[in-house]
Structure formats: structure tokens, C-alpha cells
Structure 1
Amino acid sequence: MSPHAPQFCSAATLFVVQDVPKAVAHYRDVLGFKVGFTYGDPVFYGGVERGDVTIHFQAENKTPRESGQGAVNVFVTEVDALHDELKSRGATIVHPPGDRPYGMRDFDIDDLDGNRLTFGMGIGGSD
């Protein structure tokens, strides 16, 4: 047994999607992620990354869970610039950037399957 306490190193959000190759392409082309990997023949699992954020996709037909039920909060710098970038690439903006009473400036998008991504940055002060 190691004398050191275990430490968490990283995590990946898992979204269930209808079509993994289509989801990977959307995250690459519209959301600016890099393709990490795809797996299977035909592909039923894959992953993308941008900065320190990793998202994995699993085909809906490989799990009892339904697509479009996922959500993730992504903490960023320059939230307005990111909004403009993603909007110009054709992202589905659900809620535009705004200052929220919980001390964040954020905006929401939905991916092709309806999974929700909230991008935000702290603006200080919350009750």
C-alpha cells in the first residue's frame, strides 16, 4: 500500500449521444475541441478536449441511458469572447452571456443531442 494519499488527477464528462462520429465532428468544428480518440468499428465511443476540459461520448445504443440528458459547467476566461467565437461557428446558443446573482457571468449552449454546456467565469460576489 502506498504511503501517499490518493489524489484526483483529472475527470471526463460523459455524454450519451445518438451518433459518436457526428458528435466528435460537431465539437471539433463548432466548439473548437481537438479530437482525442474514437473507438470501435463502427465507432461507439470517443473523446474530445479543449484546454483542461475533456468530454467523452458514448453511443446511445450501447447504454440504457438516453442521449441529450447531460450537462456540464465549464469555467473559462473571457466568456464574452468565447461566446462570440462559438456563435460565429454556428453553436446553438440557448441563453446569451449575462451576469448572474450567483456570482458568475455565463452562457448556455446545447449540442446536437441536447446536452447542455454552460460556459462561465466568476465575477465576484454571491449571496
Structure 2
Amino acid sequence: MMHGSTTIFTVTDAAASLAYYRDHVGFDVAFEYGSPTFYVGLCSGEVSLHLISAAQAPRPPGHGAVSIQIDDVDALHADLVKRGAKILNAPKDQDYGLRDFAIADIDGNMIFFAMELGKS
């Protein structure tokens, strides 16, 4: 049985990406690894996100994506706009039953935030 997962994004600069996710997206820093730092653990609620420097990874930066289910898409969107996150689109009701929007990090990795329609 599966019990959880952690998304790992490849990034160009782990320190710059850590600052972006902390300051602009609101993640807490769980840990930093390496000297200089090349691997970072971030968390927000029950969501874990790890970042690895491209110099230490077998894949190029900016090709990752994850969808995160949240309680209030519009409130989070407003908060991320204030924080200066790179917003890709405004919240929208989708015909697949979700209200969602997306952001990108400084390398182009994407996070989709979604909630079921009728929940707010």
C-alpha cells in the first residue's frame, strides 16, 4: 500500500529556488543539504516538495509539474499574487470538476493548485 509521495523538481540554483518557494509561494524550509546547498526539502501543510540542483541531477531543470489539492483556490491565488509568485493563469472553473490555477518557479517547473467545484 502506498502512503505518500514527495515531488522533486530539478532547479538551476537551489539557494535561489529555496528563496522563491519560501518568500513567494509560502513553503517552509524543512532542511538544506550539501555545502553549498544542492538539495532542499520544503513543506506546506501535508505537502512535501524537494529541490535538487541540476548539477546533481540526471534531468534538466524546469520540466517538472505537480498538482496540489487545496481548500480555497481564490484565497491562495490572491495570496500568491501579493507575494509576487509567477502566476500563469487566474482561477477558473473547469469542465473536469475542479477550480484551478497554475504558477511556475524561476526555472519553469509548474504547480497547479486545485479544489473540487462547490467547495469553498
TM-score surpassing 0.5?
A: yes
Alignment partner of 1:58: what SS? Answer: strand
Q: Which has the higher contact order (CA 8 A, sep 6+)?
A: 2
2:13 maps to what in 1? Answer: 19
Matches within 5 A, 1:36-115: 36-115=30-109
CA distance in structure 1 between the aligned counterparts of 2:65 and 2:57, rounded to whole angstroms: 17
CA distance in structure 2 between the aligned counterparts of 1:8 and 1:38, rounded to whole angstroms: 26
TM-score normalised according to structure 1 size: 0.90
Shift of 1:8: 2.7
Alignment partner of 1:82: what SS? Answer: helix
CA distance in structure 2 between the aligned counterparts of 1:9 and 1:100, rounded to whole angstroms: 28
Identity of aligned residues (%): 44
Structure 1 segments unaligned to the other structure (5+ residues): 1-6
Alignment partner of 1:9: what SS? Answer: coil
CA distance in structure 2 between the aligned counterparts of 1:112 and 1:52, rounded to whole angstroms: 23
CA distance in structure 1 between the aligned counterparts of 2:95 and 2:2, rounded to whole angstroms: 30
> How many pairs were matched up?
118
Structure 2 segments unaligned to the other structure (5+ residues): none
TM-score normalised according to structure 2 size: 0.95
- Which of structure 1's runs of 4+ aligned residues deviate more than 2 A? 7-10
